[in-house]
Amino acid sequence: MEQTFRTEPWQVSTDTLALRNYGPLPGIGIVPINAFLIQAAQPVLVDTGIAEDRDAFMTALRSIIDPKDLRWVWLTHTHPDHVGNLVQVLEQAPDARLVTTYLGMGLMQLMQLPLDRVYLLNPGQVLDVGDRKLVAIKPPTYDASESTGFMDNKTRTLFCVDCFGAVLSEPAETAADVPPTDLRDGMVTWATIDSPWLALVEEQAFAQSLYEVRKLEPRTILSAHLSPAIDMTDTLLQHLAAARSAPPFVGPDQAALEQMMGSAPTG
Ligand SMILES: [Fe+2]
Ligand SMILES: [Fe+2]
Contact 15, 39 (CB under 8 A): yes
Distance of CA 46 from the midpoint of ligand 2 (Å): 12
Beta bridge partners of 128: 133
5-253 folds as Metallo-beta-lactamase; Chain A (3.60.15)
Residue 251's pLDDT band, with cuts at 50, 70 and 90, is very high
If you average pLDDT over residues 172-178, what whole number do you get? 97
Domain ranges of the chain: 5-253
* Span from the CA of 29 to the centroid of ligand 2 (angstroms): 15
> What residues are neighbours of ligand 2 (ion), with CB under 5 Å?
81, 162, 224
- Residues 210-223 have pLDDT tens digits of 999 999 999 999 99
pLDDT tens per residue, range 77-94 = 999 999 999 999 999 999
pLDDT in tens, 102-131: 999 999 999 998 999 999 999 999 999 999
Q: How far apart are CA 14 and CA 86, in angstroms?
A: 25
pLDDT band per the 50, 70, 90 thresholds, residue 261: confident
Say how many Å lie between the CA of residue 162 and the centre of ligand 2. 5
Predicted TM-score of the model (pTM): 0.95
Amino acid at 144: A
CB 267 within 8 A of CB 254: yes
Gap from CA of 246 to ligand 1 centroid (Å): 20
CA of 143 to the centre of ligand 1 (A): 5
With CA atoms as reference, report the closest residue to 123 among 156, 90, 74: 74
